[in-house]
Amino acid sequence: MRGYLTLFKLRMNAGLQYRGAALSGIVTQLVWGFLLITLFQLMGQNTMPAEEIATYFWLNQAFIAMNAIWTMDGSLFQEIETGNIQYAVLRPQNIYFQWFVRNGAYRLSRTILRAIPLFFIVFLLPKPYRMGFPASGTFFISFILSLILAFFTQLAIGNIMVSLVMKSKQIMGVRILFISLFDFLDGGNIPYAYFPPVLQTILTTTFFYSIKTAPFLMYMGSIPILSTLFFQFIWLIILMFVGYKMVSSELRKLEVYGG
C-alpha cells in the first residue's frame, strides 16, 4: 500500500505543476459552459429549469478532468506502444492498480487546478448563468459520495481501455470509439432529460449513468440517494472485475522483444 501511496504522490505533484495549462483550460471551460447553457436554455426550459441547466453544465465543466473519458494519462498508452510496459510489469506492484493510481492522480491533479477557480467564478455570475447551491446538506454529502464512485468507475473504464489497446495495438481506434460513445451517452454534453423517454430508461440502467448524470442530479436533489449510490457501487465492482480479468489475460500473452 505504501508503494501505491508514493506513486500517487509523485504523479499528483507532477500534475500540479501544469498551472499554465490549467489556466487556459479554465478559460475554455467557461466559454464552452456559456455556450452549452445558452443553447439548452434556448431549446426550452420546460425540460429543465434555467437554474438547473446552469448548475448541471457548470458541474460538468468543473469535473470534466475527473470524469471525461478523454482525460486519460497518455503515458499508459505510450508504454504499450513503445514496449516500456515491461518496466511497469517488473515493479513489485499489481499493474492493474498501478494504472488505477496513476490515472487517478493524473485526473485529480487537473481537477484541483481547474475546479476550485471555476467555482469561485460561476457562483458569482448573474442569472440565468449562475450556478445554484446543493438541494440540501444531505444531498451535498451524497453528491460527494456519488462523485467519488463516479471517479473510480471512470478509472475502472480507463483500465478496460488500456487492456483493449494491449490486445488490438490500436491506440487511436480504441480511444476514438470510447470518446464517441461516452461523449454522447454519459449525459455530459446532452442531459438525459433531453433524450427520448425510452432511451432515458435504457441509459439509467447502464454505467454511463453513473459517471456524470447520477452525481449531478444528486447535487440538485432530483434522484433518490441510497438506491443511486448502491447502483453506482454495483457497476463499479462489475467494471473493476471485468477490467482486472482483461488485464490479467493480456499480461499472460505479453511478449517483449520476442520473449
Sequential pLDDT tens for the chain (259 residues):
766 677 767 767 666 666 666 667 788 888 888 999 998 988 766 778 888 999 999 999 999 888 888 888 777 777 777 767 776 666 667 888 888 888 888 888 888 888 888 999 999 999 889 999 998 999 999 999 999 999 999 999 999 998 888 887 777 888 888 888 898 899 888 899 999 999 999 999 999 999 999 999 999 998 999 999 999 999 999 999 999 998 888 777 766 655 4
> CA 109, 115, 119 angle in degrees (round to 5)?
160
Rounded to whole angstroms, the Cα distance separating 217 from 191 reads 10
Distance CA 149, CA 210 (A): 8
Residues 6+ apart with CB under 8 A from 92: 3
